[in-house]
Chains A and B, each alone.
Chain A
Amino acid sequence: MKGEGMRAKGLLKALAALMIGAGSGGAQADLRYNMPVGVTEVSRGVHDLHMTMFWICVGIGLLVFSAIIYSMVRFRKSAGAQAANFHENTTIELVWTIIPFAILVIMTVPAAGLLIKMDDTSQSDLTIKITGYQWKWHYDYLDENVSFYSVLAQDSNAARQLGAQIDLKSVDHYLLNVDRPVVVPIGQKIRFLITSNDVIHAWWVPDLAVKKDAVPGFINEFWTRIDVPGVYRGQCAELCGRDHGFMPVVVEAKTPEDYAAWLEAQREPKIESAAAVSAGSTLVAAR
């Protein structure tokens, strides 16, 4: 996954570092411990909202936990504390009901705004239909006459077998790589239609901040507009049976020119047959 622009956030980093220190003793350079900022306007908004809520929770937590810890230290019986006898105070009870309520009301404003934006799939530039299968994805570029299946890459599939003696570090993006990624243009509003052929799946790419269930018999919609070319990886997020953990999602975002060239190439028969040979007979169905 890309996730560039991800900055260290003080407390979160400290907590993560503490955990890593307790675990392996050495921090990995590429260790991720926070939601990626991502590569879309929406994903940045989601990340900002996530961090805002996080800091609000940290603030409230610091207040409450300090009060408890102060009580535990200051009002110890072993230190000679005498118990008071108060058990009610209407004013303070109203205060700590109304203030949290007010904070929540304020937070609903950006949350609702972002949600409304994410829900609006109108005026898209192209539409791709996704179909979930046990356990692969099928992509259909509507009106473009291009469609294909996308399955876990061969080397990952070999390495994930029980008892396989394969060094996972030698596998390219272990479990997060497919034979044919779904290729999309940057800067364009892409509408996805998603459904399933068997059980419920969920299509998720963290860098795009999109996750939607593929429900058999129903079609869901969502959209994204990617700013930066690159390869963005995700996984099926809804338990879908035995190989739920082995149906990754890989999105390759190209410039509109490269995308157009790629699309044209998909329609050429020789590419079709070459791909069919390389990826195995059951896996590719480019029309």
Chain B
Amino acid sequence: MTDHALVHDDHAHGPDPHFVRRWLTTTNHKDLGALYLWLSLVMFLVGGVMALVIRAELFQPGMQLVRPEFFNQMTTMHALVMIFGGVMPAFVGLSNWLLPVMIGAPDMALPRINNWGFWILPFAFALLIATLFMPGGAPAGGWTMYPPLVLQTGPAFPFLIFAVHLLGISSIMGAINVIATILNLRAPGMTLMKMPLFAWSWLITAFLIIAVMPVLAGAVTMLLTDRYFGTSFFNAAGGGDPVLFQHVFWFFGHPEVYILILPAFGIVSHIIPTFSRKPLFGHASMVYAMAAIAFLSFIVWAHHMFTVGLPLAGMLFFMFATMIIAVPTGVKVFNWTATMWRGSLSFETPMLFALGFVFMFTIGGFSGLMLAMAPVDFQYHDTYFVVAHFHYVLVPGAVYSIMAAVYFWLPKWTGHMYDERLGKLHFWLSTIGVNLTFFPMHFSGLAGMPRRIPDYALQFTTFNQISTVGAFLFGFSQLLFVYVVIKCVRGGEKATAQVWEGAEGLEWTLPSPPPYHSFTVPPVVR
């Protein structure tokens, strides 16, 4: 493919030279992608500090640092900040930056929606984080917001609800934009089945977001009216049912976990073929597997609720449906393995993170399969075994895929190579840290330690101490990541257009960095 951006007379204007006006009013997909990514980095560090408060208190039995109520605020806010601030905006940022350049478009289809979608977020997080300074403190009922407990939240309560509404609105706008872009702005010749897998993963994710974010909004609105307007949706004394909230919440919540992982599948499906110098194995089956996972995600929600007193038939159904998810997920892991088989592998930082993803996400998948078994889940449920499970799929899963993506596309974005030596160091420190943190949680959970407790019986001490040491190692290693990224933005060895020897796809036909308006003339895909 030729260098399409250069064969066309460039009449487009560049960024606004005025700094504040540029970033506040920008409708450019690269500017907004960068804003989303920086915001998510900041929120990742904020959520990380909260995690370190949790781990510091749990370093030894007895209460040393914080009060139980503040501990509960930390667990609640850590989850909300990491899910809605750390991971989701990172994936939206990646979709912004990458979708137009991957499918041969000049920009996203709805640029003003794009700007609005981003600029809602800082206000949403300002509302959320401000609750820490309110009388009674931040929400402390868990990110799952189960009533009646969440209704005991102090003045922070309406701020929590409104922040969740804003986050949902932002996500929905981002999702609409992704769908509009992918369905309308693909280059001539790029049929859906030829589309890169990152675009596919985001197309499916976007439909999930549109389907379930309004459900979350409905659930929290019912909380709001129960609290302030005398309704009894979740109040048994008024004829409601607290468990109804859990059904509605997890109807959002389970697809949500796939919103947090499907884009990761897409990213890894770009990186592994590149550094294997071999086409992705089973492109079509990858698409079908993602679609199957997305469909199944709507009919498994009650596996989060096996202990609430479901009818037997319900438990059997949700157990079977959940176990079936292992099949398409397994297909994806087998496909990545087959991609590497008889390839020509090299291990630059993005590949290390992608491989770390495959290994550790699979471990999280195994514990997920164990959790699916309802009779055994009674023992696992609400213990550190669950904490280990979802952190394995979210940290060395989703977060590793984001870091892999940043290292992979950073030379494309900035035009500079990052520091490979420091990148690898970051990978190894993170990997040691993340496993020291989360692997012992399997043991403490199986041994009987419930989650969300600020203090524990003495027999859990050893594993908790290891977890805390690992958490601090992992946490401080991320400062290295920040340094590597800033260093690469500011300068470094010039990157070529293709950047990586095995890289394939439209984004690698553009110069590094690409022009402000990516493809002003659509490339032709054969």
Q: CB within 8 Å of B: which residues of A? A: 1, 15-16, 19-20, 22-24, 28, 30-36, 45-46, 49-50, 53-54, 57, 60-61, 64-65, 67-68, 71-72, 75-78, 81-89, 92-93, 96-97, 100-101, 104, 107-108, 111-112, 114-116, 118-119, 159-164, 166, 168-169, 173-176, 198-200, 202, 204, 206, 209-213, 215-218, 220-221, 234-246
Residue of B nearest to A38 (CB): B379
Which of A28, A46, A88, A209 is B282 in contact with, Cβ under 8 Å?
A: A88
B141 interface contact, C-beta 8 A: yes
Q: Taking A35-B446, A96-B330, A209-B378 as contacts, is the C-beta distance between A218 and B319 under 8 angstroms?
A: no
**Mask: chain B, 365-384; 1 = CB below 8 Å from A; 0 = not:** 01101100111101101110
B158 interface contact, C-beta 8 A: no
A244 & B72 in contact (Cβ 8 Å cutoff): yes
Question: What separation, in Å, do the CA atoms of A173 and B148 have in the docked complex?
Answer: 31
- The residues of B that contact A92 with a CB separation of less than 8 Å are 338
B376 & A200 in contact (Cβ 8 Å cutoff): no
Which of B72, B148, B243, B448 is A242 in contact with, Cβ under 8 Å?
A: B72
A218 & B376 in contact (Cβ 8 Å cutoff): no
Question: What separation, in Å, do the CA atoms of A81 and B342 have in the docked complex?
Answer: 8
A83 & B439 in contact (Cβ 8 Å cutoff): no
**Mask: chain B, 295-326; 1 = CB below 8 Å from A; 0 = not:** 00000000000011100100110011001101
Which of A45, A78, A119, A210 is B312 in contact with, Cβ under 8 Å?
A: A119
B439 & A67 in contact (Cβ 8 Å cutoff): no
- The residues of A that contact B443 with a CB separation of less than 8 Å are 15-16, 19, 32-34
- Quote the shortest CB–CB distance from B466 to chain A (angstroms): 4
Q: Which of B449-468 contact A (CB under 8 A)?
A: 450-459, 462-463, 465-466
Question: What separation, in Å, do the CA atoms of A234 and B447 have in the docked complex?
Answer: 11
B242 & A115 in contact (Cβ 8 Å cutoff): no
Residue of B nearest to A240 (CB): B149
- The residues of A that contact B465 with a CB separation of less than 8 Å are 23-24
Which of B327, B331, B337, B343 is A67 in contact with, Cβ under 8 Å?
A: B337
A237 & B450 in contact (Cβ 8 Å cutoff): yes
- The residues of A that contact B154 with a CB separation of less than 8 Å are none
Residue from the set A22, A116, A166 with the largest chain B CB neighbour count within 10 Å: A22
The number of chain B residues with a CB under 8 A from chain A is 100
Q: Taking A30-B459, A68-B358 as contacts, is the C-beta distance between A57 and B370 under 8 angstroms?
A: yes
- The residues of B that contact A169 with a CB separation of less than 8 Å are 458
- Quote the shortest CB–CB distance from A148 to chain B (angstroms): 23
A238 & B382 in contact (Cβ 8 Å cutoff): yes
- Quote the shortest CB–CB distance from B30 to chain A (angstroms): 31
Q: CB within 8 Å of A: which residues of B? A: 61-64, 66-69, 72, 140-142, 146, 148-149, 152, 235-237, 241-243, 276-285, 307-309, 312, 315-316, 319-320, 323-324, 326-327, 330-331, 333-334, 337-347, 355, 358-359, 362-363, 366-367, 369-370, 373-376, 378-379, 381-383, 436, 439-440, 443, 446-448, 450-459, 462-463, 465-466, 469, 502
B149 & A199 in contact (Cβ 8 Å cutoff): yes
Question: What separation, in Å, do the CA atoms of A122 and B319 have in the docked complex?
Answer: 23
Q: Can you list 6 pairs linking A and B with CB atoms under 8 Å apart?
A: A15-B443, A75-B342, A86-B342, A175-B61, A217-B236, A245-B450
- The residues of B that contact A173 with a CB separation of less than 8 Å are 457
- The residues of B that contact A209 with a CB separation of less than 8 Å are 378-379
Q: Taking A35-B379, A49-B376 as contacts, is the C-beta distance between A168 and B309 under 8 angstroms?
A: no
Q: Taking A19-B443, A211-B381, A239-B72 as contacts, is the C-beta distance between A46 and B376 under 8 angstroms?
A: yes
Question: What separation, in Å, do the CA atoms of A220 and B236 have in the docked complex?
Answer: 14
Question: What separation, in Å, do the CA atoms of A244 and B76 have in the docked complex?
Answer: 14
Which of B235, B242, B457 is A174 in contact with, Cβ under 8 Å?
A: B457
Which of A16, A20, A115, A239 is B375 in contact with, Cβ under 8 Å?
A: A115
B362 & A64 in contact (Cβ 8 Å cutoff): yes
Question: What separation, in Å, do the CA atoms of A141 and B125 have in the docked complex?
Answer: 49
Question: What separation, in Å, do the CA atoms of A35 and B451 have in the docked complex?
Answer: 15
- The residues of B that contact A111 with a CB separation of less than 8 Å are 319, 373-376
Q: Taking A32-B448, A175-B455 as contacts, is the C-beta distance between A202 and B382 under 8 angstroms?
A: yes
Question: What separation, in Å, do the CA atoms of A173 and B382 have in the docked complex?
Answer: 21
- Quote the shortest CB–CB distance from A10 to chain B (angstroms): 15
- Quote the shortest CB–CB distance from B461 to chain A (angstroms): 9
Q: Taking A19-B440, A46-B375, A115-B374 as contacts, is the C-beta distance between A71 and B236 under 8 angstroms?
A: no
B323 & A104 in contact (Cβ 8 Å cutoff): yes
Residue of B nearest to A171 (CB): B458
Question: What separation, in Å, do the CA atoms of A161 and B63 have in the docked complex?
Answer: 6
- The residues of B that contact A246 with a CB separation of less than 8 Å are 68, 455
Question: What separation, in Å, do the CA atoms of A103 and B415 have in the docked complex?
Answer: 49
Residue of A nearest to B363 (CB): A61
- The residues of A that contact B363 with a CB separation of less than 8 Å are 61
Q: Taking A114-B375, A118-B378 as contacts, is the C-beta distance between A175 and B142 under 8 angstroms?
A: no
- The residues of A that contact B236 with a CB separation of less than 8 Å are 215-218
Residue of B nearest to A116 (CB): B312
